[in-house]
Structure 1
Amino acid sequence: MDVLITGAGGVVGGAILEHLGEDPAYSFTCLDTDPLPDRETVVADVTDYEAIRPAFEGHDAVVHLALVPGTGGASDRGLGWSDPLAANLRGINNVYEAAVEADLDSIVFASSNHAVGMVEVRNAPEIYTSDAGVTADETEPHRPDSAYGLTKSYGEDLGRLAAEAHDVRFYGLRIGACRGPEYDHPYGDAERGVDDGTVERGSDEYDEQVARMKGLWHSRRDLAHLVECCLRDDTVEWDHFYGVSANDRRWLDDLDHARETVGYEPQDDGEEWSSPPE
């Protein structure tokens, strides 16, 4: 299968290539604004349709990860808008349009937990415990917690339009918390804060970050597996799935749906960790 990955140089792209990049079942082409070492890379910006359009020819699927720098934050609850956020929407439109024009079979979109993030915001910190009783399953409507979350909701809705109006399958992955290799564990955010000097190990802030990650963590191998499940599927018209591992205290909970629909079988559980790695 020939797969184009936009924004392949990021954390999620790295996880996909780390776990699937040498699989002979796949031939990956990377698209990014900078070339990736040791990978065939189309150097282009997704906001430039004419620049990216030729890269879609000859591919079976696209995994759309590209994000305009500086627009990934979800802590701002303001209702303002910005040119970079608008550029993200333009990039989504361009990728989907190119996929349809090139007659690709499927689009896999890196959505986010922030598309339903108000579930967490309105129930934190109690939601970080295993007995909180608050969950969001696959029927949860969009509840974006920020303008960033709103762009992810838009990407899902545009994907549904593409699927229902055109002959392309669409998979929206509401990714929880996937981190780079050094912090690929449920203590990752807290330990990164320690390394940055912004969090003290053993503090309430440290403990809360660990509790949150034990519910939201998506290990790199589980993320790559979910992407592969979507790439291999040929039954879905359009759907969305939560990008989380099999965490016991997860509040994003559609694992039965993902398992039955695309065969997702995550291997990791944040509860199996009682301390950061040595």
Structure 2
Amino acid sequence: MTVLLTGAHGTVGTAVTAASAYDHVLLDREPAPDELGDGSPHPHRDRETVVADVGADDAVGDLTDAMTERGVAAVVHLAGDPTVSATYESVERNNVRGTRNVLEAASRAGVGTVVFASSNHVVGMYETEHAPALYAPGQGEESPTVDHRSPVRPDSDYGASKAAGEAWCRLYAEREGIGCYALRIGSVRDPAFDHPFGDAERAVARGDCERGDDDYERAVARMRCTWLSRRDCAALVDACLDDGTDGAETDTSGRNPNTVAGGAFEVFYGVSDNPNGWFDLAHARERVGYEPTDSGNAMSEPPI
């Protein structure tokens, strides 16, 4: 199966291509840079890139051509502005319009499956309300467990734009029959910081804190809850692609019974097996067989 990967050269995109079982057509706004954000060589620097801007006014035609010319059967849609503090103007163009453009192109090209990079910030207000107590082991009865049925509570324009993307995924599952899987991704990092101490060590490298101070310990505590390792990220994406290939959950007519047009629509949380976390993994385990390999509690000290 040929899979188109939008936003391919970002942190999540390189995680997917590093460990996925699928071959990917890479699409991004620009060719791959020489280095990742952590200074390591970019793994896509010698690979062909389909250069396209998903938020452009004429993007639907360009994306449709890219999909049909390459026989694309599934899309992993990562492109967009990933910044939580992004302006409304940016997320409206790059996230909302960009996601709708990708879905419309997928429909025109006859693509059967779309895996959409949503975000934990779709429900980020739960964290805002309960942090930092939320990060502690044995959170207590008042701390929430957030699952796919929990009300949407975005914490930013960015979070709201990802909620809008989920709504468009639902529409295209209902109206066009595309199997859409929205992944509310936690904390994925470049290889040098791909561990539970990653954000804290990155802050040390920037000079924002020192090892062992309060800011460092809080960053570690949060990352133990929200970390999605690079190999677990690829495994979750592949689990959704595998499910789409298998036809998802269907009735005797081959249609998904939960949508009008028969397309699957699912929301999963993209985190590793983090015992301290508040995001539900049971639904992804039961529905698509996601079994994370890594755990936020697996390390007691940073890999220095």
The answer to which of 117-126 and 83-92 deviates more is 83-92
Q: Distance in 1 between matches of 2:128 and 2:88?
A: 23
Which of 30, 55, 62 is matched with 1:51 structurally?
Answer: 62
**Aligned residue in 1 for 2:42:** none
CA contact (8 A) 1:5 1:13 kept: yes
**Aligned residue in 1 for 2:93:** 87
**Aligned residue in 1 for 2:116:** 109
**Aligned residue in 1 for 2:292:** 266
CA contact (8 A) 1:29 1:39 kept: no
CA contact (8 A) 2:52 2:63 kept: yes
SS of corresponding position for 1:266: coil
- State how many pairs are aligned: 266
Which of 155, 166, 185 is matched with 1:156 structurally?
Answer: 166
Q: Distance in 2 between matches of 1:155 and 1:43?
A: 22
Which of 40, 44, 49 is matched with 2:48 structurally?
Answer: 40
Q: Distance in 2 between matches of 1:60 and 1:252?
A: 30
CA contact (8 A) 2:80 2:91 kept: no
CA contact (8 A) 2:274 2:296 kept: yes
Q: Distance in 2 between matches of 1:99 and 1:14?
A: 22
Which of 120, 139, 155 is matched with 2:149 structurally?
Answer: 139
Residue deviations 1:15-69 (CA, integer Å, cap 9, x gap) = 001112xx4xx2210100112322231011111313322111111100110113x
CA contact (8 A) 1:33 1:43 kept: yes
CA contact (8 A) 2:88 2:157 kept: no
Q: Distance in 1 between matches of 2:164 and 2:67?
A: 22
State the 1:137 CA deviation: 1.5
Residue deviations 1:205-228 (CA, integer Å, cap 9, x gap) = 100000000000000000100000
1:245 and 2:272 aligned: yes
State the 1:199 CA deviation: 1.3
Q: Distance in 1 between matches of 2:108 and 2:210?
A: 52
Residue deviations 1:113-155 (CA, integer Å, cap 9, x gap) = 0000001000000000121132112211110000000000001
State the 1:178 CA deviation: 0.5
User: Cα RMSD between the aligned structures?
Assistant: 1.3
Counterparts of residues 190-229 of structure 1 (less than 5 Å): 190-229=200-239
Counterparts of residues 56-71 of structure 1 (less than 5 Å): 56-57=67-68, 58-68=71-81
Q: Which runs of 5+ in 1 are unaligned?
A: none
Q: Distance in 2 between matches of 1:111 and 1:151?
A: 9
Structure 1 runs of 4+ with >4 Å offset: none
Q: Which amino acid aligns with 2:134?
A: I
Aligned-pair identity in percent equals: 49
Residue deviations 1:236-264 (CA, integer Å, cap 9, x gap) = 510110000001101111x2211110000
